[in-house]
């Protein structure tokens, strides 16, 4: 018994961090109605700023040098001294940084997003999180750090007579959290500012009557939350061991559990909830070494706690159908009716097949083969997001986890107890042939998808996003990283045997060790086309109509005889199945599967690019795939701009892209590009000599201007930029920008085609969207 009490108390150390981050979540939510997924990232950037200043004497600003010139640079690092600065100075700097980040978050992101759809807000805060993570990776490195604790480091020898040594640091952390909780509660309860915030959260007019601007209040609340996160991480973080940008950002999930216990309203209950979650986690870790503890739960038990808490709390509070008069949420962009699927498929397949053959053994250019494959697999994964989020409006942040389930299950079904080069430890398994193994993998993913979808029956919007991200984390530690289930020791990957069909070998790696086999590229292409056909059929048939009906209005859908719950589960199942196919293809491409590929952040990154491409359409998934990390456009840009290290900035650009898309163009890129390409395609078909002449006259100067600028920029930054490509790139970029500009001038976006009748003018082949990069 005394052991139990001791471990409960010990867990409250980490729990106090959840409590403080949770309190920040509550403050932001009340202040501006946003569930801030970046709360952990705020804490992370703050504590790293503190540590960096104290350890190395540098202040690293939260951005990067984005000017592509040598002479003109954006200041990123400020040197404070040859050695580290003193703790108080570092503390003040960190707090100042937190203030700045809070203000930036409000003014640059969430203020512009204040009347966006819930998905837009989620995307915005995920974008901020990815951005801060990416910047932190560049500024501080991705490895763990152990900042010096500023709390006392002694121990209480026999704490409360429990017979064990209890760290004083943990004790002060708990006291700190409770005191801070009470202070915050007092501030919001008794000051005019607090009163105004509470008034504003129910009704903006209330705050105005009290003489405050609602926007000012929101900004102040962002600053408070950001500073709170930073201070908490500095004071409480070191008790949890070494800190990494990704690990700290992930704390937001347990903190969300705490905040949800407090109904996103009460700071005191949230603090208590955070402490309890930490305590229960610690107790589970203690118990997990006991005999009675189920073996497969041993490694992941603690990560499941927040998921269970979040799931149960939300499920109990949810309603099957929204109440009458529930505030109408802003809608997602239209999901266009797909037209001319076959023509597009034929043309693009030809392009990809030709490319696959050209790039085989093409020296430096053979990287494009792998890039194409990566992009096409990403498109498959994003198609699953189009189904679940674009069509049914359910925000799932677990799509990559479904892919992981299917890949892991497939690998296990292929395993036969032999060892491989990549994994010297034998993994037992039935040794099934690839089609059966893959099928079992996909079916498992579907089953898991439906189970994850169960909460969606009663939980909607942002809250569902929270549940799914908690689930993704649980799955990661319960399954992918769980040795007792995967039999993979020491992080070894599970090997995947290559597929083959009709005697054609479909392995991804060629004889020279390069991933450039056209057979594999075509294999992925065929699978992608299959998935596109499925989704296109779905959208155009009754099931798609029912999905969109549910997305538009659940009450009206029920009145039209639609079983809303069933449609949601069905959508989760279909989406998980498509994601599962993506996972299988990832496995074949990789030749093995490892947990690192399916961490929960992967889902976020893919969602970011799916949203950038356009989450409501098939075209969007394709464009998103091209944009995906290590995808075609990244590799292409990296090829032309060799020294720019584009790949270092994918997360940052992805995060920024998410924010900008959410604010500027929730439709995504695809629907914006579509009219442009349609126009071009129509023109190319009808143009004769005279038209070409006129076009050259009109566009020529713009192109030349772009070429000149490209030529001038090139020597400013790095010498290895290709003398040939930069001007050409500049020329096409100029044409592209002109096109977008003209389109914007012509009165926003051209209407997206809809309806069962194809629009009379049909676009033929659109040129490869190289200039999109």
Partner 1 sequence: MALLKTYDMTVRYGGLAANADVNLEVPEGKLVGLIGPNGAGKTTFIDAITGFTNVSSGRVEFDGHDLEGMTPDRRAHLGLVRTFQSLELFEDLTVRENLLVAAEKPTWWSFIVDLLRPPKTSAEHEARVAGALSVLGLDDIADRLPMDLSHGQRKLVGVARALAAKPKLLLLDEPAAGLDTTESQLLGQHLRTFLETGTTIFLIDHDMGLVLNVCDYIYVLDFGKIIAEGTPAQIRKDPAVIGAYLGQSAGEAQAKAGEALAARTAAAASDASEQAPDQGGDHV
Phi and psi at residue 503, to the nearest 5°: 80, -5
Question: Could you tell which of ligand ATP, partner 1, none binds residue 748, using a CB distance below 5 to 8 A set by kind?
Answer: none
Question: Could you tell which of ligand ATP, partner 1, none binds residue 716, using a CB distance below 5 to 8 A set by kind?
Answer: none
Instruction: Report CA-CA distances (Å) from 624 to 127, 257, 596, 611, 631.
Output: 15, 31, 22, 7, 9
Q: How many CA atoms lie within 13 A of 744 on its CB side?
A: 8
Q: What angle do CA 530, 532, 535 make, to 5 degrees?
A: 110
Contact track, partner 1, 311-350, x by CB under 8 A: ---------xx--x------x--xx---------------
Of 410, 414, 385, 408, the closest CA to residue 398 belongs to: 385
Closest CB 555 distance from ligand ATP, rounded Å = 12
Helix (H) / strand (E) containing 723: none
Tokens representing residue 635 in the block: 């590799």
Residue 321 exposed, middle or buried by CB count within 10 Å (0-12, 13-18, 19+): middle
The full DSSP string for 677-691 is HHHHHHHHHH--HHH
Question: In terms of CB distance, is 518 or 753 closer to partner 1?
Answer: 753
Residues touching ligand ATP: how many (CB under 6 A)? Answer: 2
Closest CB 753 distance from partner 1, rounded Å = 11
Question: In terms of CB distance, is 161 or 561 closer to partner 1?
Answer: 561
Contacting ligand ATP within 563-622 (CB under 6 A) = none
By the rule CB under 8 A, 759 interacts with partner 1: no
Closest CB 326 distance from partner 1, rounded Å = 11
Q: Report the C-alpha gap between 270 and 277 in whole angstroms.
A: 10
Closest CB 335 distance from partner 1, rounded Å = 6
In angstroms and rounded to an integer, the radius of gyration of the C-alpha atoms of the chain is: 27
Closest CB 155 distance from partner 1, rounded Å = 54
By the rule CB under 8 A, 760 interacts with partner 1: no
DSSP single-letter state for residue 336: P
Residue range at the interface with partner 1 (CB under 8 A); choices 124-132, 187-195, 541-549, 652-660: 541-549
Q: Is 593 helix (H, G, I), strand (E, B) or coil?
A: strand
By the rule CB under 8 A, 570 interacts with partner 1: yes
According to CB under 8 A, which one of 215, 553, 637, 665 is a site residue for partner 1? 553
According to CB under 8 A, which one of 72, 312, 560, 696 is a site residue for partner 1? 560
Closest CB 463 distance from ligand ATP, rounded Å = 20
Residue range at the interface with partner 1 (CB under 8 A); choices 11-19, 159-167, 280-288, 545-553: 545-553
Q: Is 243 helix (H, G, I), strand (E, B) or coil?
A: strand
Instruction: Report CA-CA distances (Å) from 134 to 97, 131, 174, 360, 465.
Output: 17, 5, 31, 33, 22
Closest CB 319 distance from ligand ATP, rounded Å = 11
Phi and psi at residue 482, to the nearest 5°: -100, 105
Residues touching partner 1: how many (CB under 8 A)? Answer: 37
By the rule CB under 8 A, 544 interacts with partner 1: yes
Contacting ligand ATP within 290-349 (CB under 6 A) = 323-324
Q: In this structure, are residues 647 and 630 in contact, taking their beta carbons and an 8 Å threshold? A: yes
Closest CB 149 distance from partner 1, rounded Å = 52
Of 199, 197, 122, 147, the closest CA to residue 43 belongs to: 147
Instruction: Report CA-CA distances (Å) from 215 to 123, 126, 487.
Output: 21, 21, 54
Q: Is 747 helix (H, G, I), strand (E, B) or coil?
A: coil
Closest CB 331 distance from partner 1, rounded Å = 6
Q: Report the C-alpha gap between 272 and 174 in whole angstroms.
A: 11
Question: Could you tell which of ligand ATP, partner 1, none binds residue 755, using a CB distance below 5 to 8 A set by kind?
Answer: partner 1
By the rule CB under 8 A, 568 interacts with partner 1: no
Question: Could you tell which of ligand ATP, partner 1, none binds residue 41, using a CB distance below 5 to 8 A set by kind?
Answer: none
Residues that bind partner 1 (CB under 8 A): 320-321, 324, 331, 334-335, 534, 537-538, 540-546, 548-549, 551-553, 555-564, 570, 574, 754-757
Residues that bind ligand ATP (CB under 6 A): 323-324
């Amino acid at each position: 018994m005394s052991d139990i009490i001791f471990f409960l108390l010990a867990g409250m150390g980490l729990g106090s961090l959840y409590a403080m981050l949770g309190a920040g979540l509550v403050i932001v939510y009340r202040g501006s109605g946003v569930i801030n997924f970046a709360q952990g990232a705020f804490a992370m950037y703050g504590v790293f700023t503190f540590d960096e200043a104290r350890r190395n004497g540098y202040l690293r600003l939260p951005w990067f040098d984005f000017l592509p010139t040598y002479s003109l640079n954006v200041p990123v690092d400020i040197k404070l001294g040859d050695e580290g600065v003193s703790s108080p100075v570092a503390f003040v700097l960190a707090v100042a940084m937190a203030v700045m980040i809070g203000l930036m978050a409000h003014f640059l992101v969430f203020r512009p997003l204040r009347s966006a759809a819930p998905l837009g807000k989620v995307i915005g805060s995920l974008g901020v999180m990815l951005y801060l993570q990416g910047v932190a990776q560049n500024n501080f490195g991705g490895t763990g750090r152990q900042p010096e604790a500023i709390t006392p480091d002694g121990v209480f020898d026999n704490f409360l007579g429990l017979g064990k040594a209890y760290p004083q640091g943990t004790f002060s952390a708990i006291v700190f959290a409770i005191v801070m909780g009470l202070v915050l509660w007092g501030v919001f309860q008794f000051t005019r500012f607090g009163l105004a915030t509470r008034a504003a959260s129910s009704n903006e007019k209330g705050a105005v009557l009290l003489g405050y601007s609602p926007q000012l209040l929101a900004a102040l609340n962002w600053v408070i939350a950001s500073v709170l996160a930073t201070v908490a991480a500095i004071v409480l973080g070191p008790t949890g061991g070494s800190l990494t940008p990704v690990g700290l950002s992930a704390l937001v999930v347990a903190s969300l559990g705490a905040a949800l216990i407090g109904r996103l309203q009460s700071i005191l209950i949230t603090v208590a909830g955070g402490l309890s979650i930490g305590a229960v986690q610690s107790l589970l870790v203690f118990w997990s070494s006991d005999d009675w503890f189920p073996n497969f739960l041993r490694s992941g038990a603690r990560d499941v706690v927040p998921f269970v808490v979040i799931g149960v709390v939300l499920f109990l509070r949810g309603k099957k159908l929204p109440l009458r008069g529930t505030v109408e949420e802003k809608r997602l962009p239209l999901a266009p009716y797909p037209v001319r699927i076959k023509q597009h498929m034929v043309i693009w397949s030809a392009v990809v097949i030709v490319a696959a053959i050209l790039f085989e053994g093409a020296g430096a250019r053979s990287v494009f083969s792998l890039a194409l494959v990566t992009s096409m697999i990403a498109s498959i994964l994003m198609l699953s997001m189009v189904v679940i989020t674009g069509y049914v409006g359910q925000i799932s942040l677990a799509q990559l986890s479904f892919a992981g389930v299917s890949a892991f299950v497939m690998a296990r079904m292929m395993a036969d107890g032999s060892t491989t080069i990549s994994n010297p430890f034998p993994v037992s398994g039935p040794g099934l042939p690839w089609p059966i193994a893959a099928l079992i993998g996909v079916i498992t993913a579907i089953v898991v998808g439906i189970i994850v979808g169960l909460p969606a029956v009663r939980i909607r919007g942002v809250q569902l996003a929270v549940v799914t991200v908690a689930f993704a984390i649980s799955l990661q530690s319960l399954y992918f990283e769980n040795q007792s289930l995967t039999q993979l020791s020491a992080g070894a990957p599970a090997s995947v045997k290559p597929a083959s069909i009709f005697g054609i070998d479909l392995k991804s790696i060629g004889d020279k060790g390069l991933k450039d086999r056209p057979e594999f590229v075509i294999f992925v292409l065929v699978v992608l086309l299959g998935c596109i056909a499925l989704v296109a059929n779905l959208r155009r048939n009754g099931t798609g109509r029912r999905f969109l009906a549910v997305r538009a209005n659940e009450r009206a859908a029920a009145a039209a005889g639609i079983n809303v719950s069933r449609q949601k589960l069905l959508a989760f199942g279909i989406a998980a199945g498509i994601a599962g196919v993506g996972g299988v293809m990832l496995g074949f491409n990789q030749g093995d599967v490892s947990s690192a590929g399916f961490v929960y952040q992967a889902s976020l990154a893919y969602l970011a690019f799916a949203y950038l491409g356009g989450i409501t359409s098939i075209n969007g998934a394709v464009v998103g795939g091209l944009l995906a990390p290590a995808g075609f456009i990244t590799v292409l840009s990296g090829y032309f701009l060799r020294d720019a290290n584009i790949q270092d900035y994918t997360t940052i650009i992805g995060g920024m892209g998410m924010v900008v898309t959410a604010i500027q163009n929730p439709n995504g890129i695809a629907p914006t590009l579509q009219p442009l390409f349609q126009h071009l395609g129509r023109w190319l078909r009808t143009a004769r000599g005279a038209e070409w002449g006129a076009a050259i006259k009109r566009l020529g100067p713009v192109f030349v201007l772009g070429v000149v600028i490209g030529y001038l920029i090139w020597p400013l930054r790095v010498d290895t930029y290709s003398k040939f490509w930069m001007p050409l790139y500049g020329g096409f970029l100029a044409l592209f920008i002109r096109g977008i500009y003209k389109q914007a001038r012509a009165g926003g976006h051209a209407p997206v085609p809809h309806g069962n009748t194809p629009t009379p003018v049909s676009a033929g082949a659109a040129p490869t969207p190289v200039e999109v990069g």
